[in-house]
Each structure stands twice: as C-alpha cells, then as structure tokens.
C-alpha cells in the first residue's frame, strides 16, 4: 500500500510502521523513494541530467576532492539550476585538515595549533598536525604525507615553503590557508588565504610606546635568519626610529642583535644573545624589543641572573602574548593576537561554504599589552 506523507519525524515513522506492519527503515525508504517522483529537486535528478551516479553527485555537492573540479562545478551549477539547496550538503562530511607547524615546543605555534584543533573539533572535523622544524625538507615531507592522507586542505603556520611547492598544491586542487606574514600572495600570484599578522605595525607601535616613555637607546633582538616575519618586524622598528629622528634634534641609533640561527630554542637564543650584549663595550640599551615572547623571557632571565633590574635598569618587551608572559616576574609587556579567532577563521577557509567565508586577506594589527617589564628609562 503506498504511503503519501510530507513533513516527517521519528514519531510519525514509528506510528506508520505500526499501522502498516512495516519496519522503521522500510517506511523511511518508501517515503524517500516516493520523493524522487515529485517535482522537488533531488540528487538523483541531477545525476540523471548529467549522466552521473547519485554517489558522485553526493560527493560533488560536499566538495569532495575525489571528484574532479570540473565535475564538481558542473554538479553545483546543475544543482543551482534545479533549485537544490547546496548548503544542506556542503560540510556534512568530516574533513581532514593538515596543519604544518615549525615547532610544537614553541608556545606561540602550539597555541595557534591548539586554536585550530578547537575550531575544527567544534565543526566535527579532524586535524593532522606535523612539525616541520623550520626545514624545507621536512615541510615537503609533511606535504607528501598529507597527500597520502588525502587531506581536504592545509594550514601553514609561519611556513618557509617554496613558492613552486605551493603552486603545485593549487594544481592538485588543495585548499591552502595560512597564519603567517611570510607568504605574500600578491607577489606569488597565488590565492593563499588567511588573516595576515601586521607585524610591522605591531612592532612600530611597541617601539613608539618605548620612545614615548623616554627611551633613546632601544635594541631589537632579531628572529630566525630565514624568517621574513622577522624582517617585517625590523621594518616596523625602523619606522618608529626614523620618524623620531626626522622630527627631533636628538637621534635614536638602531641596534639590532642577530640570532644567527634558522631555528632553535627561543628561550636559550634570547638568553645567549643577552649575555653577548652585556659583554659588548659601550653604553647598554635602556630597552630591548624581542622577536617573540619566548626570546624576551630568555632575555629577562639573563638580566635578572646578572643583577640587572627590570624595568628600572632595562625595559624588555616581546610579541604574541603567550601564556607564560602573564606569569613571569615581572610580567611581560608584549603585543596580543586573538589566536582563538585566528583558528576559527583559517578552519572556515578550509571547510566553509564557498561564498560564505570570512575576509581572507584581512590585516590584523596586534594589540599593545603593557605590563610590568617596561617603564621609563633610568636617569643617567
């Protein structure tokens, strides 16, 4: 006996099953089969129109990379033509997101990775995290593994990856998002998406804050020598110094301490470079700005170990506002990024519905956070 019904729920299914002596599944299948004979758009009708299987149409509507890009586009165009609601399909399948992190032992990278895992988990997606050790070879190895895992997209955190390699990802129809100032999508003519950290403005604001306190000898501790992010920060530091020198009779001379390393333990790098600075002849700086908070905490420990008071003798500032910066003695002045929001945005760029994703090229300026490690310079 045919069953004609619209607007169904579990209780209705159960009532009909008891009436007609049928199982729950039989009732549901009967109703679904009948729906294919109505005028409502269905995946089967789309499949028939394009000469595809229903399964292929279903995968295409979920933007599954096992279906070619051309076929996915054809299916979506046909779905729009037939009035099929695209959003009800996209995102049902659990996505696998690859995340490439330079160092998991680095607090800032770990916090970014954590925010991505949280955002993906909230949307029922999986994350594969791979540590690349700031190495081109390790990044390429991670990409090969991601390819074998058939990830839906890759999130690059402060990647050093070559332009040609990224171009190959697009040829494979991968979605690529980044949390990094290192990748300039316009220069590479590639549509890499992701909120960009405006490190230049952040470091300029920090430098200007110290200048406004009265500091006239401000030293910058550089990051990894392969990091364009560090070069961007130095540009912000120089912006502030040059602007002051242009408008004032007195001048501030730039002093940059190079890390001379591609990677490593930032705490140790900060402490080691600080020891070298203290042994240098001439007047010591009254303020130090560091590439990141970990380096700044290493500097802080070195100064305290050498009997130098922070901030009365030397002010110290970092970048990124990692958790440890709030619990050091003194607490660390730094710049803050909303890492949780960054995580949500890049995950949406990988798995979000096309046309409904957030601004993919927004420049986000870090917020200045003043704490106990900075103050006015000592009277000379």
CB atoms < 10 A from the CB of 248, how many? 11
Domain boundary (62, 88, 114) is at 88
Residue recorded with tokens 């890492």: 339
**Token pair for residue 187?**
């220069």
* Same-domain check for residues 193 and 105: yes
Confirm whether 372 is domain-assigned.
no
Please, what sign has the CA dihedral across residues 337, 376, 276, 301? negative
Q: How far is residue 112's CA from residue 287's CA, in Å, rounded to a whole number?
A: 28
Confirm whether 3 is domain-assigned.
no
* Same-domain check for residues 204 and 301: yes
Q: How far is residue 347's CA from residue 115's CA, in Å, rounded to a whole number?
A: 10
How buried is 364 (Cβ within 10 angstroms: 0-12 exposed, 13-18 middle, 19+ buried)? middle
> Cβ distance 11 to 34 under 8 Å?
no
Percent of the chain with pLDDT over 90: 38
Residue recorded with tokens 């050790």: 133
pLDDT at residue 92, rounded to an integer: 54
Q: How far is residue 288's CA from residue 314's CA, in Å, rounded to a whole number?
A: 7
Structure confidence at residue 88 as a pLDDT band (50, 70, 90): low
Confirm whether 378 is domain-assigned.
no
Structure confidence at residue 355 as a pLDDT band (50, 70, 90): very low
Query: Average pLDDT of 61-83?
Result: 80
Percent of the chain with pLDDT over 70: 74
Confirm whether 1 is domain-assigned.
no
Number of domains within the chain:
3
* Same-domain check for residues 123 and 40: no
Confirm whether 70 is domain-assigned.
yes
* Same-domain check for residues 253 and 328: yes
Query: Average pLDDT of 36-45?
Result: 60
**pLDDT, tens only, 163-179:** 566 656 655 566 777 77
* Same-domain check for residues 204 and 185: no
Q: What is the DSSP letter of 130?
A: E
**Token pair for residue 372?**
């106990």
In terms of DSSP H, where are the helices of the chain? 10-20, 24-35, 43-50, 54-61, 69-82, 107-122, 136-148, 163-171, 185-188, 199-213, 228-247, 266-279, 293-305, 339-351
pLDDT at residue 345, rounded to an integer: 84
Q: Find, among 334, 268, 331, 271, the residue nearest to 306 by Cα.
A: 271
Q: Compute CA distances 123 → 94, 128, 157, whole Å.
A: 8, 15, 20
CATH number at residue 301: 3.40.50.2300
* Same-domain check for residues 317 and 353: no
* Same-domain check for residues 260 and 355: no
The residue segments making up the domain with residue 148 are 96-198+340-364
Question: Is the full-model pTM beyond 0.75?
Answer: no
* Same-domain check for residues 240 and 357: no
Confirm whether 4 is domain-assigned.
no
**pLDDT, tens only, 175-216:** 777 776 544 443 343 445 667 788 899 999 999 999 999 999
Give me the DSSP letters along 149-216.
TT-SEEEEES----HHHHHHHHHTT-EEEEE-SS--HHHHT---BSPEE-HHHHHHHHHHHHHHHT--
**pLDDT, tens only, 119-150:** 998 888 899 999 988 787 888 888 888 888 88
* Same-domain check for residues 233 and 326: yes
* Same-domain check for residues 206 and 321: yes
pLDDT at residue 243, rounded to an integer: 96
Q: Compute CA distances 8 → 4, 28, 193, whole Å.
A: 11, 9, 41
């Amino acid at each position: 006996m045919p069953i004609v019904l619209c607007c169904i729920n579990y209780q209705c299914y159960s009532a009909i099953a008891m009436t007609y002596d049928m199982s729950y599944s039989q009732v549901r299948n009967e109703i679904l089969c009948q729906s294919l004979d109505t005028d409502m758009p269905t995946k089967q009708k789309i499949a028939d129109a394009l000469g595809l299987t229903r399964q292929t149409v279903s995968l295409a509507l979920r933007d599954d990379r096992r279906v070619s890009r051309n076929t996915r586009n054809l299916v979506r165009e046909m779905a729009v033509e037939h009035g099929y609601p695209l959003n009800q399909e996209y995102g049902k399948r659990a996505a696998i997101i690859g995340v490439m992190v330079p160092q998991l032992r680095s607090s800032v990278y770990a916090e970014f990775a954590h925010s991505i895992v949280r955002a993906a988990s909230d949307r029922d997606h999986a994350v594969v995290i791979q540590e690349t050790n700031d190495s081109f070879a390790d990044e390429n190895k991670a990409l090969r593994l991601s390819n074998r895992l058939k990830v839906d997209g890759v999130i690059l955190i402060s990647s050093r990856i070559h332009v040609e390699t990224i171009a190959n990802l697009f040829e494979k129809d991968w979605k690529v998002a980044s949390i990094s100032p290192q990748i300039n999508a316009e220069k590479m003519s590639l549509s890499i998406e992701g909120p960009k950290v405006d490190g230049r403005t952040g470091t300029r604001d920090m430098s200007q804050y110290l200048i406004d306190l009265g500091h006239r000898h401000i030293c910058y501790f550089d990051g990894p020598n392969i990091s364009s992010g560090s070069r961007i920060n130095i540009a912000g530091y120089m912006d502030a110094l040059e602007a002051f020198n242009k408008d004032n009779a007195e001048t501030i001379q730039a002093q940059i301490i190079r890390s001379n390393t591609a990677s490593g333990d930032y705490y140790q790098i900060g402490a080691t470079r600080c020891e070298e600075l203290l042994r240098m002849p001439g007047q010591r700086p009254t303020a130090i700005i560091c590439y990141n908070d970990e380096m700044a905490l290493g500097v802080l420990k070195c100064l305290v170990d050498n009997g130098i008071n922070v901030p009365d003798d030397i002010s110290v500032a970092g970048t990124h506002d990692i958790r440890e910066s709030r619990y050091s003695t003194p607490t660390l002045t730094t710049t803050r990024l909303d890492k949780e929001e960054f995580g949500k945005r890049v995950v949406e760029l990988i798995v979000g519905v096309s046309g409904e994703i957030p601004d993919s090229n927004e420049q986000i300026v870090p917020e200045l956070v003043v704490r106990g490690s900075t103050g006015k310079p000592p009277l000379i």
